[in-house]
Amino acid sequence: MISNLSEKVTLKSDILVGLYVFCIITAELMGSKSFPLFKIFNFNLTGSVGMFLIPWIFSINDIFTESFGYKRAKNLAKISLIVVSLLILLAAFAVILPPSVRYASTNEAYKTIFSQSIRISLASLIAMAVSNFADIKIFWRLKQKLSKYGLWFRNNLSNHLAVLLDTVVFMTLAFYNPAHQFSDNFHFLLGIIIPYWLLKAFMSTLSTPFVYAGIKWLKK
């Protein structure tokens, strides 16, 4: 009986790890595409594919932290770093390989899709590392303070702060231009950080029922 129960819990946690890895890889490969949302006065608000995926990564962090504890959740965050690092290395290797004659006509499109700049890739890796561990740490500290109460508060506060940190770190590392004055960079970065953070925070709030459902599913 105990063995069967353990196998079921392991299967469920493995499914969540699979979803976690899927979100990470998809966010890295497809998350940079932007698309128009709506216009506020004279400001055209755009979103990115990543805003649909990154909040789910943090939500799975919270499910693991709530269900299995701080150390298991940290291991999950370490997996994200390994996955993104390997993906960057493989992409760099793949684009420099010479194409076969049959593939030569589509090689440039392949390179365009997969050859991200080193700066963008490193910015993504660092932002994910910092925000992932921050999300887990904040959620765990709030859990210790609030015990079993306020899951919605712990989930949303940790996720909103984590997506803010992710957005600030990534945008700064990827788009800060040393050739311009600090004030110019500040206003430019602020103009893209705030809307992207608000959009990610909104998507994170929408994922709150998923956190409740995931925890209940694991403990059932």
pLDDT tens-digit series, residues 75-118? 999 988 898 888 888 888 888 888 888 888 888 888 877 776 66
* Beta strand pairing call for 34-40 and 43-48: antiparallel
The whole-number average pLDDT for the span 62-69 is 91
Separation between Cα atoms, residue 69 and residue 138, nearest integer Å = 13
Separation between Cα atoms, residue 129 and residue 39, nearest integer Å = 33
Three-state SS at 177: coil
- Of 11-20, 143-152, 174-183, the poorest mean pLDDT is in 143-152
pLDDT at residue 19 in the model: 92
- pLDDT greater than 80 at residue 164: yes
CA 101 → CA 17, 96, 104, 107, distances in Å?
39, 15, 5, 10
Spatial neighbors of 215 by CB under 8 A, at least 6 apart, are 63, 66, 67, 151
pLDDT at residue 5 in the model: 54
- Are the CB atoms for 131 and 159 separated by under 8 Å? no
- pLDDT greater than 70 at residue 44: no
The whole-number average pLDDT for the span 163-175 is 91
- Are the CB atoms for 95 and 117 separated by under 8 Å? no
The whole-number average pLDDT for the span 200-215 is 90
Count of CB atoms situated within 10 Å of the CB of 31: 19
Residue 18 — pLDDT band, cuts 50, 70, 90? Answer: very high
Separation between Cα atoms, residue 141 and residue 184, nearest integer Å = 37
